[in-house]
Structure 1
Amino acid sequence: MIARRVVLGAFGLAVLLDLVSLAAGHDAGHTVAKPLLMPLLAAWAALSGAPRLLLAALLCGWGGDILLLSDAEPAFLAGMASFAAGHICYLVLFTRYGSKGYGSKRYGSRTYGGARARGRLLVPLYATALVATVLLLWPDLPADLRVPVAGYSLLLTAMAYTAAARLGLLAGLGGALFLLSDTLIATGVADWPQPPRPDLWIMLTYIAAQFLLAKGALGALRTRPAPAASHAEVPSTIP
């Protein structure tokens, strides 16, 4: 418990240093603080009993963070690929442990039905957001980035939808903030008008997104053990 609090406090200090540095236009502070964020969040998650897929997703985010410190296009594409790998980890994790997978007697049909109904309501919302974003950005993106950005947007939207549909409010808010953060990046690449200090808003929404996704996933794991953990579903290996 003490170790978790110490690591979470260190994460909070790194977040504060990063956001204050961006607000003040102090690039050196951002360069120092940004690489610390996801390893500290992953350490806190590990001490909280996180599965490997959650840790992998956070460390893929760390790889993307490091790569996006460079403005070079190859680094941007590599960073996008690293984040995409993280979204795949999240997708597998949410699909495996999300409430939609629970129709057993232990949890009853209410949880399953609620997740299914929530998913049906969210489909048109996320589908509309994806199509509108890609169509609006497409003409203004560099030609060689259009297809990668569209493919990444599809994966990101699928992750955000799955977080909301299967894990509920906390993780769903994290997924939505991830969408917002990456949309801000994409509009910058498309050379659209930006708010003051766009990097501050990008990092603020991104950090909140990763924290909420991690916390939402940990909460789901605490309240809903993996299906394989159910005695009724695990075949006995004892002769």
Structure 2
Amino acid sequence: MNKAQQGPPSPAVPTVAAADAPAPTPRDRYGTWTLVAFALAAAGDLASLAAGSDVGHIVLKPLLMPLLAAYVTFRRGPRLLTAALLCGWAGDTLLLADADPVFLAGMGAFAVGHVCYLALFRRHGEGYGTARARGAFVVGTYASALIVTVALLWPDLPSDMRIPVAGYSLLLTAMAFGATTLGLAAAAGGGLFLLSDTLIATDVANWPQAPRPDFWIMLTYLAAQTLLTRGVLTSGSATARR
């Protein structure tokens, strides 16, 4: 067929070009920079702990949760998530001191953070209504872990710390269980939070510790808070309500 016999040119098929994607807003850029700052501060804190530098840890630890909370704010995340992270900041700062009353105040700050997380999971989690068998298995697993851990620690804990540690452990375990309703990332975060605070409890009970115990406590704690944050921010319910 020659050119004279050809019909009119077909209309161009629209394509999605990279230029059509919405440009990052200043808020998006600030969120990215804040997340990078959090990652750098976390790496610096862990490096300080690995090297045995108390000064680096004292300087960097109080910056971590505010940076992660700022990232959540720039991402327009739920306010309860920001509150949970700021409670973690209060606990982190208080636990830099060695006095027992300050330790209990730090534990109380983390306990309030766990209540915030539980409210988030209730609001955004999927629940176990359609998976009763899985729910029963997870409940049994976490309940068994709680009972065994408290029973083993109880004789070695200072007498004035036993009830607070047991009560906090119950709330922490409930948070870790609730995190399983929000997906794999949040579930891993809840489990790591449980592990991190168990490591602290073994130190309070004067159990033998691995070399550089604070490094392992902070590593699991930072991973826990990061994964919980990711789990909440990427949940369909939380995204829809932004």
* TM-score interval, smaller chain: 0.7 to 0.9
Match among 136, 139, 150 for residue 155 of structure 2? 139
**Which residue does 2:11 correspond to in 1?**
none
1:191 aligns with 2:206: yes
**Which residue does 2:141 correspond to in 1?**
125
1:44 aligns with 2:71: yes
| Partner AA of 2:57 in structure 1 | H
| Partner AA of 1:161 in structure 2 | F
Identical-pair percentage:
62
**Which residue does 2:188 correspond to in 1?**
173
| Partner AA of 2:130 in structure 1 | G
| Partner AA of 1:167 in structure 2 | L
Superposition deviation, residue 119 in structure 1: 2.1
TM-score when scaled to structure 1?
Answer: 0.87
**Which residue does 1:109 correspond to in 2?**
none
**Which residue does 1:77 correspond to in 2?**
104
Deviations 1:139-159 (A, max 9, x none): 000000000000000000000
Deviations 1:97-141 (A, max 9, x none): 11128xxxxxxxxxx514x44322201110000000000000000
The gaps in structure 2 that reach 5 residues or longer are 1-27
Contact 1:97 1:225 in 2 (8 A): no
TM-score when scaled to structure 2?
Answer: 0.85
**Which is worse superposed, 213-222 or 126-135?**
213-222
**Which residue does 2:3 correspond to in 1?**
none
| Partner AA of 2:203 in structure 1 | G
Q: Distance in 2 between matches of 1:14 and 1:222?
A: 30
**Which residue does 2:86 correspond to in 1?**
59
SS in 2 for 1:193: coil
Contact 2:188 2:227 in 1 (8 A): yes
SS in 2 for 1:113: coil
Superposition deviation, residue 163 in structure 1: 0.3
Q: Distance in 2 between matches of 1:154 and 1:217?
A: 22
Superposition deviation, residue 5 in structure 1: 1.1
Contact 1:97 1:224 in 2 (8 A): no
Q: Distance in 2 between matches of 1:132 and 1:208?
A: 24
**Which residue does 2:47 correspond to in 1?**
20
Query: In structure 2, do the counterparts of structure 1 residues 224 and 113 end up closer, same or farther at CA, with 3 Å as the change threshold?
Result: farther
**Which residue does 1:87 correspond to in 2?**
114
Deviations 1:53-87 (A, max 9, x none): 11100000000000000010011000000000000
**Which residue does 1:157 correspond to in 2?**
173
1:213 aligns with 2:228: yes
| Partner AA of 2:126 in structure 1 | S
Superposition deviation, residue 193 in structure 1: 0.4
Matches within 5 A, 1:198-237: 198-221=213-236, 225=240
Q: Distance in 2 between matches of 1:8 and 1:222?
A: 22
Paired residues, what number?
A: 215
Contact 1:94 1:163 in 2 (8 A): yes
The gaps in structure 1 that reach 5 residues or longer are 102-111, 230-239
Deviations 1:24-50 (A, max 9, x none): 000000001000000000011111121
Superposition deviation, residue 210 in structure 1: 0.4
Contact 2:124 2:237 in 1 (8 A): no
